[in-house]
């Protein structure tokens, strides 16, 4: 599957989700059995940990379809990058989607500032470039979109595996925005 075909599948699945027409396929015991020997997910999703944004549901996918990495704020840190590198190098996945979402708590906390303790401060530091690149008075959701966009660049800049795959045309990295109200994913 090319990255364009992968993107089309995600769009089709999201349309079913938005319209309450989930087909829920590839989630049964026969699918489990067929995957014991390996996996060939057609898309990598770097999404937020938010309980309201579940990539497997939002794209109406089953087992073995999405390689999903979730971390608050969908940031590119060492661990999330390494996870994505694994899927690129060993599973042959060709599409990476950085999925931000409406009213993201991590972005809201980053914009609010203050001391949130060592771990959260570290995580929110990854969102600082998006704040710096946003217009003054930008809304949270504007910063969310900027963060998703900059994270696609960060993935390429901080990983030779991802960069080489993108440069050779094998892999594409795109950003997207999930609307909490409609469930629709806008590809940016």
- Check residue 46 for interaction with Zn ion (CB under 5 A): no
- Asked if residues 95 and 172 have their Cβ atoms less than 8 Å apart, the reply is yes
- Check residue 48 for interaction with Zn ion (CB under 5 A): yes
- Asked if residues 57 and 17 have their Cβ atoms less than 8 Å apart, the reply is yes
Which residue, chain included where needed, has tokens 């409609």? 182
- Check residue 104 for interaction with Zn ion (CB under 5 A): yes
> Judged by CB, which is closer to Zn ion: 10, or 72?
72
CB of 173 to Zn ion, least distance (A): 19
- Check residue 110 for interaction with Zn ion (CB under 5 A): no
**Site map for Zn ion, 5-44, x if CB under 5 A?**
----------------------------------------
- Check residue 99 for interaction with Zn ion (CB under 5 A): no
- Check residue 109 for interaction with Zn ion (CB under 5 A): no
- Check residue 50 for interaction with Zn ion (CB under 5 A): yes
> Judged by CB, which is closer to Zn ion: 48, or 84?
48
> Judged by CB, which is closer to Zn ion: 67, or 178?
178
Classify 38 in phi/psi space as left (phi over 0), alpha (psi -120 to 50) or beta: left
Structure-block tokens of residue 118:
């060592």
- Asked if residues 185 and 10 have their Cβ atoms less than 8 Å apart, the reply is yes
Stretch that binds Zn ion, among 28-36, 50-58, 150-158, 180-188 (CB under 5 A): 50-58
Nearest to 85 by CA among 134, 33, 133, 156: 156
Nearest to 162 by CA among 97, 89, 100: 89
Q: What is the dihedral of CA 49, 57, 59, 38, to 10 degrees?
A: 80
**Site map for Zn ion, 52-91, x if CB under 5 A?**
----------------------------------------
Rounded to whole angstroms, how far apart are CA atoms 42 and 171?
11
Rounded to whole angstroms, how far apart are CA atoms 55 and 47?
7
Say how many residues touch Zn ion, by CB under 5 A: 4
Binding site for Zn ion (CB under 5 A): 48, 50, 104, 106
């Amino acid at each position: 599957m090319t990255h364009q075909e992968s993107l089309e599948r995600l769009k089709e699945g999201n349309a079913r989700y938005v319209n309450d027409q989930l087909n829920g396929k590839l989630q049964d015991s026969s699918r489990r059995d067929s995957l014991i020997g390996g996996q060939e997910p057609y898309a990598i999703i770097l999404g937020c940990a938010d309980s309201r944004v579940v990539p497997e549901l939002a794209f109406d996918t089953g087992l073995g379809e999405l390689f999903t990495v979730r971390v608050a704020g969908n940031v590119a840190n060492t661990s999330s990058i390494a996870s994505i590198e694994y899927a690129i190098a060993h599973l042959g996945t060709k599409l990476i989607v950085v999925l931000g979402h409406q009213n993201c708590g991590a972005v809201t906390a980053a914009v609010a500032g203050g001391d949130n303790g060592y771990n959260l401060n570290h995580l929110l530091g990854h969102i600082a470039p998006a704040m710096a690149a946003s217009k003054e008075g930008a809304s949270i959701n504007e910063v969310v979109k900027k963060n998703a966009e900059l994270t696609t660049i960060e993935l390429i800049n901080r990983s030779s595996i991802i960069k080489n795959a993108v440069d050779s045309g094998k892999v594409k990295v795109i950003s997207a925005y999930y609307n909490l109200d409609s469930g629709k994913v806008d590809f940016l």
